[in-house]
Amino acid sequence: MGDEDKKALLGRLTLLADAGTALASTLDLLEGLRRVCRVLTGRLGDWCVVDLLDERGRLERAVVSHRTPEVLAPGGYEGLLPPVPQDAAGPLPRVLRGAGPLLLADIPSPNRAANPLHARQLELFEQLAARSAIITPLRARREVLGALTVARTDADHPFTKNDLPFIEALVRSLALQVDNARLHQQTQRIAERFQRDLLPELPQLDHLQIAARYTPAQAIAQVGGDWYDAFVLPQGDTVLVIGDVAGHDLQAAIAMSALRNMLRGIAVDRQEPPGRSCAAWTSPSIPCTRRRPRHASTPWSKAPSRAASGGCTTPPPDTCLPC
């Protein structure tokens, strides 16, 4: 292997690593794909497109990136695409059915399109002056998630069949990360929906007006163990609770539900001052989830002129029994 071959190999390995790092550097899938495309358009092609299939099989042009961003009309390319035809006519439909990577060395005009999806693809090639392109399926767990297209506009330096193995390896690695990112997003959506379904209905009271708004403090922490509660005790006192369980995942939301209901049950059953109820709630003798509450504040009152409050914190590790 000559020096030029070694240099080319090192460049491709570096590109492979940089593309993976770009996608892994954010939990936001679309932002990660934008970063990947910026890496690819700087060192592999002149422009790059990522088309993704959603859970219902609809195809969306998710990302369009160009070496010269000024040539792209803002919002002029992304969006839903025509349905994927069953006959898989055209390179993009073929790739979405599992073929590829495909090398396009001779790109036809849009008036020769086999179907609406093929026409949209050829229109993009014409608008962005593609002279050659490689389309590769994003495939993970035997499922095609979408396609990545890299194009060159220089007719003197087109893609060739020698580029196919490297781009296939590159996209195979990216597809696994895309699949992991999608699974993470699905888990987050399920957890957020679960948590919001657990939010209590606030009581309507004559002596007290209660309102609440529940929003995540950070975009990356859409779920977790924070909660609030409000209910009326049998003797008429109103209980307000704000609490937190450590964590920002589905397990934290489940633990939050169990602990919230436990505290409500203790308050209704014992009808004691807040401090005593909190002490009973955090007692190691009471069954608990695997996650203990970090804190909770519990003021309650029957009338606006009278209130009592109590606080709960996580018991020291040497006093928390295994659950």
Per-residue pLDDT of 226-251, as tens digits, reads 778 888 888 888 888 887 777 766 67
For the chain, give the percent of residues with pLDDT over 90: 22
The superfamily (CATH) of domain 3-191 is GAF domain (3.30.450.40)
> Rounded CA gap, 88 and 98, in Å?
10
* Greater pLDDT, 62 or 277: 62
Phi/psi at 57 (5° precision): 85, 5
Domain with CATH 3.30.450.40 in the chain: 3-191
Phi/psi at 51 (5° precision): -110, 130
Mean per-residue pLDDT of the chain = 79
**Averaged pLDDT for residues 73-79:** 81
Q: Which CATH number fits domain 199-319: 2.60.120.330, 3.50.50.60, 3.60.40.10, 3.60.21.10?
A: 3.60.40.10
Domain with CATH 3.60.40.10 in the chain: 199-319
| DSSP label at residue 82 | P
Structure tokens at 226: 């924070």
> Rounded CA gap, 1 and 280, in Å?
73
Residue 217 contacts by C-beta under 8 Å, 6 or more apart in sequence? Answer: none
Residue 251 contacts by C-beta under 8 Å, 6 or more apart in sequence? Answer: 290, 291
Residue 320 has pLDDT above 60, yes or no: no
**Averaged pLDDT for residues 11-20:** 81
Residue 284 confidence class, pLDDT cut points 50, 70, 90: low
